């Protein structure tokens, strides 16, 4: 059953059409003027509006415009005695879902209203689906962020945007066993922050493992503390403050994001352990070959279990030896560090960038097929080509790169062969024009015995 507003200045028409709609199981409010229609719309919410175009005190187009401006999800069916094209075109362009010419049969009216209501329901379901997809994507961004500062910024903004909160505060532990510390604030001015922080601090210290609705600080109507946990370990709390009533699904969304924030914080801890195990390159602070070996094993296992895909990019700088020969090894080392920053800026946070040795880099692109990998490779190649390296130091060097691309399972199903495919494709570019990308192909097949070792120096 739907709530329908019927507008017609003819009493007989109101009674007739009202009976038609009531017979279809709808609740009908019937009025005879534009003024009465405005009053009804101000008092109640309707699923659909059925209006005549010619009214005694105005034009049905005025009603149509009013409804679409203020209640865009309410469908409008226009009825008129004018059997002309122009009014129909104006009504449809104005947002009417149906246009009926009098006399209107019960079946035609019920069918038109039913179609309009079905379209409304589909739009609402599509909007809800889009919201769920957006929530999923936001949660994935949080869960895969391995930079603490960026994680705090991303999570603070995500909680505010997703829940409709006016202010969000993130309390995290700097280290295991430490007290919670305020690390992120979104939507609160410096003047408000101290007062809000003072009001929230006692609740944070005693907060548990479930969402708590706490006394709202002055100026807010509602306040929640949401634990950022993974399993039974709490890594932080998110204070979500509202100035108006929270949206219907805000609580569920906040808890969903908080679980992914907890996962991200656990991953950050694991990442710190990875650093302690010397999985980082000393010069560029990218991952090193030892970590590449580890992560490739994990990625292959995951891809085989899920029938997934991933790709490798093998990069080698063009004529890098000339940089060392001309400017010295210190400048060459600084250039390698800047190249690392350029590459990191061209890929996603959850992709893995490795300094393979010398002036070679390997990038693991998660959940990316060969087509997607080519696009990333071209982004890197173009960015390198147009970048002025070490410009702050006064050099302004131009450096290009050759890139080889190989994908699992398209080109190979083991890590040694994948690396060999990508390396051979890259080396084909080194023997040609350079500053180019090559895809692994049958003509560049790796041999079963092929193995990679860390190069002792640049290929140039």
User: How does residue 447 score in pLDDT terms, banded at 50, 70 and 90?
Assistant: very low
Ranges 5-14, 132-141, 445-454: which has the least confidence: 445-454
pLDDT tens-digit map of 128-166: 677 777 888 888 888 888 788 899 999 999 999 999 999
Q: Residue 100 corresponds to which tokens in the numbers above?
A: 């009926």
Instruction: Point out the least confidently predicted range of 59-73, 102-116, 440-454.
Output: 440-454
Q: What pLDDT is stored for residue 449 in this prediction?
A: 28
Whole-number Å distance between alpha carbons of 445 and 401: 22
For CATH 3.40.50.2300, list the domain ranges present in the chain.
3-123
Q: What is the CATH number of domain 3-123?
A: 3.40.50.2300
| Residues 107-126, mean pLDDT to the nearest whole number | 80
Residue 195 in tokens: 């007062």
Residues of the chain with CATH 3.30.70.270: 278-444
Output the CA angle 381-386-388, nearest 5 degrees.
120
Lowest mean pLDDT among 92-101, 280-289, 304-313, 440-449: 440-449
Q: In sequence order, what DSSP letters do the residues of 97-112 get, joined into one string?
A: SEEEESS--HHHHHHH
Contacts of 224 (CB under 8 A, 6+ apart): 211, 212, 213, 214, 239, 240, 246, 251, 254
Q: Which CB contacts under 8 angstroms, 24+ apart, belong to 295-298?
A: 295/352, 295/364, 296/364, 296/415, 296/418, 297/415
pLDDT of 309 reads 96
- Give the integer Cα–Cα distance in Å for 377 and 384: 11
pLDDT on residue 458 = 41
Least confident of 31-35, 199-203, 230-234, 441-445: 441-445
Q: Which residues pair with 28 in a beta bridge?
A: 4
Is the per-residue pLDDT at 451 higher than 50? Answer: no
> Higher-confidence residue: 124 or 48?
48
Mean pLDDT of the chain: 86
Residue listed under structure tokens 């003072």? 198
SS3 356: strand
Q: Does the structure show a pLDDT above 90 at 326?
A: yes
Superfamily of domain 278-444: Reverse transcriptase/Diguanylate cyclase domain (3.30.70.270)
Rounded to an integer, what distance in angstroms lies between the CA atom of residue 456 and that of residue 217?
A: 62
Dump the DSSP string for 181-221: EEEEEES--HHHHHHHHHHHHHHHHH--SS-EEEPPPTT-S
CATH code 3.30.450.40 region(s) in the chain:
144-274
Question: How many CB atoms are located within 10 Å of the residue 456 CB?
Answer: 7
For residue 192, give both structure tokens: 């408000």
Is the Cβ–Cβ distance between 452 and 428 less than 8 Å? Answer: no
Rounded average pLDDT over 81-105: 80
Query: In the CATH scheme, what is the code of domain 144-274?
Result: 3.30.450.40
Could you tell me the pTM of the whole model? 0.44
pLDDT recorded at residue 446: 37
pLDDT digits (tens, 9 = 90+) for 338-385: 999 999 999 998 999 999 999 999 999 999 999 999 999 999 999 999
């Amino acid at each position: 059953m739907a709530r329908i507003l019927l507008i017609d200045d003819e009493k007989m028409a109101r009674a007739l059409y009202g009976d038609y709609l009531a017979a279809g199981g709808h609740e009908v409010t019937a009025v005879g003027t534009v003024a009465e229609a405005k009053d009804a719309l101000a008092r109640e919410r309707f699923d659909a509006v059925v209006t005549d175009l010619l009214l005694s005190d105005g034009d049905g187009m005025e009603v149509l415009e009013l409804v679409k401006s203020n209640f865009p999800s309410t469908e409008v069916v226009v009825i008129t005695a004018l059997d002309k094209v122009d009014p129909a075109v104006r009504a449809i362009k104005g947002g009417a879902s149906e246009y009926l010419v009098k006399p209107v049969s019960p079946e035609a009216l019920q069918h038109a209203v039913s179609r309009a209501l079905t379209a409304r329901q589909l739009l609402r379901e599509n909007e809800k689906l889009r919201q769920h997809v957006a929530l999923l994507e936001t949660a994935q961004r949080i869960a895969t962020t391995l930079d603490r500062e960026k994680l705090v910024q991303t999570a603070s903004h995500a909680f505010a945007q997703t829940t409709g909160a006016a202010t969000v505060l993130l309390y995290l532990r700097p280290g295991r066993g430490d007290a919670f510390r305020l690390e992120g604030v979104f939507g609160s001015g410096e003047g408000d922050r101290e007062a809000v922080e003072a009001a929230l601090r006692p609740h944070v210290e005693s907060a548990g493992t479930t969402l708590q609705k706490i006394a709202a600080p002055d100026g807010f109507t509602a306040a929640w503390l949401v634990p950022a946990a993974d399993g039974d370990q709490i890594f932080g709390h998110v204070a979500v403050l509202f100035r108006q009533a929270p949206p219907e699904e805000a609580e569920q969304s906040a808890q969903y994001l908080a679980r992914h924030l907890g996962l991200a914080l656990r991953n950050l801890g694991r990442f710190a352990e990875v650093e302690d195990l010397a999985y980082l390159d000393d010069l560029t602070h990218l991952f090193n070959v030892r970590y590449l070996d580890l992560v490739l094993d994990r990625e292959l296992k995951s891809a085989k279990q899920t029938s997934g895909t991933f790709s490798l990019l093998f990069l080698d700088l063009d004529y890098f030896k000339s940089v060392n020969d001309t400017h010295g090894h210190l400048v060459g080392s600084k250039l390698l560090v800047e190249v690392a920053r350029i590459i990191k800026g061209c890929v996603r946070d959850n992709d893995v960038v490795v300094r393979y040795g010398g002036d070679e880099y390997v990038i693991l692109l998660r959940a990316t097929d060969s087509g997607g990998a080519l696009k990333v490779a071209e982004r890197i190649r173009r960015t390198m080509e147009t970048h002025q390296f070490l410009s702050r130091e006064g050099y302004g060097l131009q450096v290009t790169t050759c890139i080889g691309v190989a994908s699992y399972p398209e080109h190979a199903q083991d890590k040694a062969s994948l690396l060999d495919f990508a390396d051979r494709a890259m080396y084909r570019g080194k023997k040609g024009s350079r500053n180019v990308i090559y895809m692994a192909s049958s003509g560049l097949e790796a041999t079963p015995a092929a193995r990679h070792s860390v190069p002792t120096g640049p290929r140039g």
